[in-house]
Structure 1
Amino acid sequence: MKPVVHGLVKKRAEIVGRIQAAQEEAARLIADLDHLDASIRLFEPDVDFDDMPVKYLPPPNAAFRGEVQRFLLEQLRGATRWQTTDQLTVKVMVQRRMNESDKALRTLTRKRVGHSLSRLRKKGVVRSRKAGKGPLLSWKITAPDADIVQGWRNGASS
């Protein structure tokens, strides 16, 4: 088998495994829902489940506005050395109980951390410098007493 085909077959097997796991989880959730429905009907036989509210889950790894910036400021305030974007990314992932070995999630988190740090740099709260020959930056706080106050949208409170 050619290396390209072998890689595609391996990726296909991974996706099939993920689909099977998702189907098994869906089957468990449906069984749990059926048990809850039966329990509710014991107390309210004429209940209409179509009128019941649905609680939507937040997107995975969602954060409130400014939450990441506040965490980064705390980390930079306590640091005695320059911190790289990667180091800060790992700290964010540990604090938020994210899987650090998930490359895609780590890349997404690094982008979010980088954007947050760039916004802080524009506000004059942190500064950056090159960390080695590549594109990696290191960061240091310039205004330790800075407090970024932001609300839900565009910095507006509530």
Structure 2
Amino acid sequence: MKPVVHALIRKRAEIVGRIQAIHAEAARLVTDLDHLDCTLRIFDPAIDFDDMPVKALPPPNAAFRGEFQRSLLEMLRGSQRWQTTDELTVKVMVQRRMNENDLAMRVTIRKRVGHALSRLRRKRVVASRKAGSGALLTWKLTKPDAALEGGWRNGSG
């Protein structure tokens, strides 16, 4: 078979695996909800579940203040070699369960990674140098014991 066909078959298998995992998670959540509803009915047999509010979930890739930079620091702590912005971008995307083959998303995340690393460089926590003749940078931790401050998005503790 041709390499393209093999790649498409692998991609299809990945998508089917994701769908199966989501179905399994949905089945588990339905069972949990059923158990919770039964427990609520013990305390209030006349409860009306249709009138209950539904809590909106935060976006799956939301990060609290400083979380993104702390995540990058951990990635840099785990390696003694210089790492490119692209390598760190892929690690972030894998960590957040994003499709690292989605080029538009990869560009967006690479920009976020670059900005976060630039902020860390200004704090003298990381150092950068050019990787070859292009614009690609490599990064290395300069203060392994660096800890960042930060709480929720609004800055409160």
Q: TM-score range by the shorter chain?
A: 0.5 to 0.7
Deviation at 1:137, TM superposition (A): 0.9
After superposition, where does 1:18-29 map in structure 2 within 5 Å?
A: none
Moved >2 Å (runs of 4+):
43-50
Unmatched segments (≥5 aa) in structure 1: 1-31
Q: Once the two structures are superposed, what CA deviation does each residue of 1:13-59 show, in whole Å capped at 9, x if it has no partner?
A: xxxxxxxxxxxxxxxxxxx9xxx9xx99xx66673735x21211212
Q: Which residue number corresponds to residue 9 of structure 1?
A: none
Contact 2:64–2:153 (CA under 8 A) maintained in structure 1: no
Query: What SS is found at the alignment partner of 1:100?
Result: coil
Report the Cα distance in structure 1 between the residues aligned to 2:140 and 2:49, rounded to whole angstroms. 58
Report the Cα distance in structure 2 between the residues aligned to 1:152 and 1:54, rounded to whole angstroms. 23
Q: Which amino acid counterpart does residue 67 of structure 1 have in structure 2?
A: E
Q: Which amino acid counterpart does residue 82 of structure 2 have in structure 1?
A: W
Query: What SS is found at the alignment partner of 1:128?
Result: strand
Report the Cα distance in structure 2 between the residues aligned to 1:46 and 1:73, rounded to whole angstroms. 49
Q: Which residue number corresponds to residue 107 of structure 2?
A: 107
Q: Which amino acid counterpart does residue 59 of structure 1 have in structure 2?
A: P
Question: Could you say if the C-alpha distance between residues 68 and 46 of structure 1 is closer, same or farther in structure 2, counting changes exceeding 3 Å?
Answer: closer
Q: Which residue number corresponds to residue 17 of structure 1?
A: none
Q: What RMSD in Å do the two structures reach over aligned CA positions?
A: 2.4
Q: Which residue number corresponds to residue 48 of structure 2?
A: 47
Question: Could you say if the C-alpha distance between residues 48 and 121 of structure 1 is closer, same or farther in structure 2, counting changes exceeding 3 Å?
Answer: same
Q: Which residue number corresponds to residue 14 of structure 1?
A: none
Unmatched segments (≥5 aa) in structure 2: 1-29
Q: Which residue number corresponds to residue 144 of structure 2?
A: 144
TM-score (normalised: structure 2): 0.64
Contact 2:128–2:140 (CA under 8 A) maintained in structure 1: yes
Contact 2:125–2:146 (CA under 8 A) maintained in structure 1: yes
Report the Cα distance in structure 1 between the residues aligned to 2:78 and 2:113, rounded to whole angstroms. 17
Contact 2:126–2:142 (CA under 8 A) maintained in structure 1: yes
After superposition, where does 1:60-139 map in structure 2 within 5 Å?
A: 60-139=60-139
Q: Size of the alignment, in residue pairs? A: 118
Where relative contact order (Cα < 8 A, 6+ residues apart) is larger, the structure is 2
Q: Which amino acid counterpart does residue 75 of structure 1 have in structure 2?
A: M
